[in-house]
Amino acid sequence: MEAWQPIVPSHEVTKGDCIVQGFADGLEFALWRSASGAVQAWQNRCAHRSVRLTLGRIIDDRLVCGYHGWRYAPGDGQCTYRPAHPGAPVPKGLGIRTYPVAEAAGMVWVAPAGEAPRASPAADAGYALFCRAFVARCDVHQAASVLARQGKIDGRTWTGKIGDDDIAVHLLSAKPDRTTLYVWCRELAGIDPTAQRQRVSATFKSLRARIEQPA
């Protein structure tokens, strides 16, 4: 289990009423951005009756559970209000399990093991253009072994070439039978970055097919 895992691109977690469901290392996360701009990575489970927080809403800088409207504050994930008992103080320690989270290289990273590693996360191979994420219906070992046949694997990062493009792929074990593949490419002179990202995305689909169905 790697310490930091990229989970979603930063621009997908917007302020306001946006709660993103994320998967990493067999865990499920509810990701949102507080009014201060800080990304939150929480266990996707309300402390009350275990309903997924991703069914809730962000209102006035609180995650409001969709079931009973319990409100949780950013930072420590503590419950601050229970609408059935408006006057009553909330017991201390009642809150959502939170995870260490960081943003770097345009991605949100979480530490699924629950402890913030000393080093910050870093986008490997330093390729500038994030293309898109792909979900492969297989475990991370199968994905890695297929990719290893035509490039270089170092830990959870693969570098190689598809067509004219040098790409770096970070592999994330989302679930035991699902791998998320984050694809970056090295910018090439003389081609519009958007066109390059489209090209890489189009070509990568056949690689995804081979990853899912190795010959």
- List Cβ neighbours of 65 (8 Å cut-off, separation of 6 or more): 46, 48, 51, 53, 55, 56, 71, 72
- Residue 23 interacting with another protein (CB under 8 A): yes
Nearest approach, Cβ of 180 to another protein (angstroms)? 8
Nearest approach, Cβ of 154 to another protein (angstroms)? 25
- Residue 158 interacting with another protein (CB under 8 A): no
Q: Looking at this protein, which amino acid is placed at residue 164?
A: D
- List Cβ neighbours of 89 (8 Å cut-off, separation of 6 or more): none
| CA contacts within 13 A on the Cβ side of 165 | 27
Among 106, 132, 151, 157, binds another protein (CB under 8 A): 132
Nearest approach, Cβ of 146 to another protein (angstroms)? 18
Q: Which stretch binds another protein (CB under 8 A): 96-104, 107-115, 128-136, 159-167?
A: 128-136
- List Cβ neighbours of 69 (8 Å cut-off, separation of 6 or more): 82, 83
Is residue 189 a contact partner of residue 115, using CB atoms and an 8 Å limit? no
- Residue 69 interacting with another protein (CB under 8 A): yes
- Residue 198 interacting with another protein (CB under 8 A): yes
- Residue 60 interacting with another protein (CB under 8 A): no
Among 100, 139, 178, 188, binds another protein (CB under 8 A): 178
Range 83-112, binding another protein (CB under 8 A)? 83-86, 88, 91, 94
Q: Please calculate the CA angle 33-10-95 and round it to the nearest 5 degrees.
A: 30
Strand partners, 29: 22, 43
Q: How far apart are CA 65 and CA 80, in angstroms?
A: 12
- Residue 201 interacting with another protein (CB under 8 A): yes
- Residue 41 interacting with another protein (CB under 8 A): no
SS3 199: helix
Q: Applying CB under 8 A, which residues contact another protein?
A: 8, 12, 17-18, 20-21, 23, 28, 44-45, 47-52, 55, 57, 66-69, 82-86, 88, 91, 94, 131-133, 135, 137, 175, 178, 194, 197-198, 201-202, 205
